[in-house]
Amino acid sequence: MKRLSQDRMPIYDALQRFKQMRVVPFDVPGHKHGRGNPELTEFLGEKCVSVDVNSMKPLDNLVHPVSVIKEAEELAAEAFHAAHAFFMVNGTTSAVQAMVLSACKKGDKIIMPRNVHRSVINALVLCGAEPVYVNPDVNIDLGISLGMSLKQVEKAITENPDAVAVFVNNPTYYGVCSDLRSIVKLAHAHGMLVLVDEAHGTHFYFGKNMPITAMDAEADMAAVSMHKSGGSLTQSSLLLIGSAMNEGYVRQIINLTQTTSGSYLLLSSLDISRRNLALRGEEIFEHVSELAQYARDEINAIGGFYAFSKEIINGDSVFDFDVTKLSIHTLDVGLAGVEVYDILRDEYDIQIEFGDIGNILAYISLGDRKRDIERLVGALSEIRRLYQRDKAGMLTQEYISPQVVTTPQYAFYAEKESLPLDETEGRVCSEFVMCYPPGIPILAPGERVTKDILRYIKYAKEKGCSLTGPEDIEIKRLNVLKGV
Convert the pLDDT of each residue in 386-442 to its tens digit. 999 998 888 877 778 889 999 999 999 999 999 999 999 999 999 999 887 777 889
Q: How far apart are CA 252 and CA 124, in angstroms?
A: 18
Q: 130 falls in which pLDDT band (50, 70, 90)?
A: very high
Q: How far apart are CA 341 and CA 328, in angstroms?
A: 11
Give the pLDDT of residue 462. 87
CB of 359 closer than 8 Å to CB of 174: yes
CB of 220 closer than 8 Å to CB of 244: yes
* CA torsion angle 112 117 118 119 (round to 10): -90
Q: 331 falls in which pLDDT band (50, 70, 90)?
A: very high
Q: How far apart are CA 327 and CA 444, in angstroms?
A: 26
Give the pLDDT of residue 205. 98
Among residues 250, 200, 199, the alpha carbon closest in space to that of 220 is found at 250
User: How do beta strands 109-113 and 130-134 pair?
Assistant: parallel
CB of 111 closer than 8 Å to CB of 154: no
Three-state secondary-structure class, residue 262? coil
Does residue 188 carry a pLDDT above 60? yes
Does residue 1 carry a pLDDT above 60? no
63: number of Cβ within 10 Å? 15
CB of 205 closer than 8 Å to CB of 277: yes
Q: How far apart are CA 161 and CA 363, in angstroms?
A: 39
| Secondary structure letter of residue 255 according to DSSP | H
Give the pLDDT of residue 2. 64
pLDDT digits (tens, 9 = 90+) for 274-328: 999 999 999 999 999 999 999 999 999 999 999 999 999 999 999 999 999 999 9
Average pLDDT over residues 31-60: 94
Does residue 445 carry a pLDDT above 90? yes
- Determine the CATH number of domain 61-277: 3.40.640.10
Looking at 3.40.50.720, 3.90.1150.170, 3.40.250.10, 3.90.1200.10, the CATH number of the domain 279-387 comes to: 3.90.1150.170
The mean predicted confidence, pLDDT, of the chain is 95
Q: How far apart are CA 214 and CA 241, in angstroms?
A: 10
Give the pTM.
Answer: 0.95
What is the separation, in whole angstroms, between the first and last Cα of the chain? Answer: 59
Domains in the chain: boundaries: 15-54, 61-277, 279-387, 408-481
% of the chain at pLDDT higher than 90: 88
Give the pLDDT of residue 8. 96
- Determine the CATH number of domain 408-481: 3.90.100.10
